[in-house]
Structure 1
Amino acid sequence: MMIQATKWFLCVMMVIASTNAGLLCADQEGESSSDPVLELVGKMTHPELREVSGIEFDQSQPGVWWAINDSGCEPKVYRMDRWGEIIVDNDALDDVAVGFELTGAVNVDWEDLTIYNGMLVVPDMGNNWNARQNLGIYFAELPSAEVMAGPLEILRHVRVRYPDQETFPATQFEFDCEAVFYLDGKLHVLTKQRMGQTKLSRIGTKLYRLDKEDEEVVNELTLVDRHETIGPWVTGADVSPEGDRLAVLTQFEVWIFERPEDSDKWLSEGKATRVKLPRDLAKQAEAICWDDIQTLRIANEQREIYTLDVRLCDEEMSADALTYGS
């Protein structure tokens, strides 16, 4: 009896220690193990970076990340260093202009960005009330390393719509997007869902693909896949440099999906690792990107930047076996 009580006490203490360590990784039985792999690496202190909603690593410019602000802010992209500081000319004055403004663009609700084929890709697809009929994507050329700030010409603007949204606003709020990535030459978007027609969060997401980028028409997205238990609130996504893993950021977790063989159905057919984020650190996590094949970068609305070493949390389980809250 004493031995059993001692074992029970040790188990309780291990769970407490794991929770205090910060980051929990779901294993194949749905239980939790932990490693202190979420590391604070910087803070975005510049006053123009007041509500960062998307970040992306620039593989063409070492040590450079791009960031955008949320709805209502200037239609700008910002070049940052690894610590979250805006990169400016060392000889510039303190009040020098920063950021690159997309000429003629409007930031109705920018929530994520990505890079493809030498272009910055900025979707304007935030849709809190599911009533927008002007969803679109801006494409702009990546500024050269020698240019610190200034206007940025829009190469093209592509309008899009969801194939399964029939009313505006929708009867069920599941047509908001805060997460995008490019893969195999096509843009993919993940939705953020709410309960009914309310602001209340709801678990689940849908994955769409943009098959055409015709500037003359409204391009219909293709519904590819869905996941009923991820979340709540998908707020960011990025595909790994090698294209074999998809990181999806939610309000409380990061899900890492392995690409299924001969399929685009990452969510329902891919193997997945679910990483529970410590709420006292992640807070309101809004943006995620891969720094390299083993490191994820996460930014929150409190302007903090963290990195996550995925090597220290590599348990796998099939996506359909994961249940939120397990």
Structure 2
Amino acid sequence: MLKKSLYSLISIVILLSMVLTSMSIYTLYSKKKLSVDPKLKEVSGIEFDKFKRLWAINDSGDDPKLYRLNEDGSIAKEILVTNAKNIDWEDMTQNDFGHFFLGDFGNNKQERKWLTIYKIENPIDIKTDTTEAEIIKFTYPELDGSPIPPDKRNFDLEAFVAFGRHLYLFTKNRTEPFDGITNVYKVGDHAANFDAQLIDSFKTCTTMEKLCWITSAALSPDRTKLVLLDSTSIWLFENFTGDKFFSGDVSRIDLGIVTQKEAITFYDENTIVFTDEEFKGIGGNAYVIKLDEVTKTIIKKIPKASED
């Protein structure tokens, strides 16, 4: 009798696990918009140009190129940045004027002293298949050449946004033990050498580093919403003051199963597009969510000021 009960319990657990997995898969794939061209299997940054056409960049190993995608995910155009290198391109963003910024700042081993951001004009203004970039360099003043202790290894980077006349960089945490904190650094948005200024931090989660790493960031066109992306979630920040992005309301949007989600951007104030890299036949897609249609888990809510 005991053995029969144990088998029944195991069967129920397996069934529940299958149901939860199926729900998690549906949560992600119900949002799928298109499959990305295989040439962009390591897509690491996306942005819409002024004509609302989607552009993407690849991670390290590719040429220093931007790719415009057709509505079916195929490649419509390529632009080579002639004075750039793709050591480890990790994100793409744009400012209020439409300039694109390409972040060559991946720093997995945290051995790169100087990191690079390439600034180009909006792709609709590039009439040929090549362009030159304005070059922004920065370093972390905390790095003095000494070995970085395991609990301080928070100088990898895969996410940034343009706000005002500055760029804001969100670190990919590699501390041991993992503490889930993304630090925010600030640099100028023009050609110069900068010491990145640490201005804030936010803890995502500590479940597992690969689930909580911040891999991309985006600001809404009206600059009132910030999103950070990890492997399972979108972190949404609203009602913040100035560049204190974490000072307002915080909520989390569940994206279902774990895939290598690496790029996110806004199409409009309510519509978010994100992508994942292809790995063993999984991923390699672009997904769309509407903020007024998804479930948001409130992490922090700032009380409204009294009208008295």
CA contact (8 A) 2:28 2:255 kept: no
Secondary structure of the 2:265 match is strand
TM-superposition CA deviations, 1:132-170 (whole Å, max 9, x none): 0130111112233784x621122x101101233333653
Question: In the alignment, what sits opposite 1:203?
Answer: 180
Match of 1:247 among 208, 224, 227: 227
CA contact (8 A) 2:113 2:139 kept: yes
Structure 2 Cα separation of the partners of residues 36 and 112 of structure 1: 22
- The more displaced of 72-81 and 310-319 is 310-319
Are 1:69 and 2:67 counterparts? no
Are 1:101 and 2:90 counterparts? no
- The more displaced of 227-236 and 304-313 is 227-236
Structure 2 Cα separation of the partners of residues 150 and 115 of structure 1: 20
Question: In the alignment, what sits opposite 1:27?
Answer: none
Structure 2 Cα separation of the partners of residues 220 and 76 of structure 1: 27
Q: How does 1:125-164 map to 2 (within 5 A)?
A: 125-144=105-124, 147=127, 150-154=129-133, 156-164=134-142
Secondary structure of the 1:256 match is strand
Question: In the alignment, what sits opposite 1:43?
Answer: 35
Cα shift at 1:73: 1.1
Question: In the alignment, what sits opposite 2:69?
Answer: 80
Matched to 1:205, the amino acid is: T
TM-score, with structure 2 as normaliser? 0.79
Match of 2:212 among 222, 226, 232: 232
Structure 2 Cα separation of the partners of residues 241 and 202 of structure 1: 31
CA contact (8 A) 1:240 1:246 kept: yes
Cα shift at 1:310: 1.4
CA contact (8 A) 2:165 2:188 kept: no
Between the aligned residues of both structures, percent identity stands at 30
Question: In the alignment, what sits opposite 1:28?
Answer: none
TM-score, with structure 1 as normaliser? 0.75
Stretches of structure 1 lacking an aligned partner (at least 5 in a row): 1-12, 25-34, 88-97, 321-326
Are 1:290 and 2:270 counterparts? no
Stretches of structure 2 lacking an aligned partner (at least 5 in a row): 1-14, 206-210, 279-283, 303-308
Count of aligned positions: 274
Cα shift at 1:233: 0.6
TM-superposition CA deviations, 1:99-129 (whole Å, max 9, x none): 1110021101000011222322112110001
Structure 1 Cα separation of the partners of residues 114 and 215 of structure 2: 20
CA contact (8 A) 1:176 1:193 kept: yes
Matched to 1:106, the amino acid is: K
Match of 1:122 among 102, 113, 124: 102
Question: In the alignment, what sits opposite 1:272?
Answer: 250
Structure 2 Cα separation of the partners of residues 211 and 145 of structure 1: 23
Matched to 1:78, the amino acid is: Y
Question: In the alignment, what sits opposite 2:287?
Answer: 306
Structure 1 Cα separation of the partners of residues 178 and 263 of structure 2: 18
CA contact (8 A) 2:218 2:265 kept: yes
CA change 1:319–1:219 in 2 (3 A) is farther
CA change 1:162–1:319 in 2 (3 A) is farther
Matched to 2:259, the amino acid is: K
Structure 1 Cα separation of the partners of residues 297 and 104 of structure 2: 35
Structure 2 Cα separation of the partners of residues 15 and 295 of structure 1: 31
CA contact (8 A) 1:179 1:237 kept: yes
Secondary structure of the 1:48 match is helix
CA contact (8 A) 1:201 1:232 kept: no
Q: How does 1:160-175 map to 2 (within 5 A)?
A: 160-167=138-145, 170-171=148-149, 172-175=152-155
Q: How does 1:177-188 map to 2 (within 5 A)?
A: 177-188=157-168
Structure 2 Cα separation of the partners of residues 181 and 48 of structure 1: 25
CA contact (8 A) 2:167 2:189 kept: no
Cα shift at 1:61: 1.1
CA contact (8 A) 1:202 1:232 kept: no
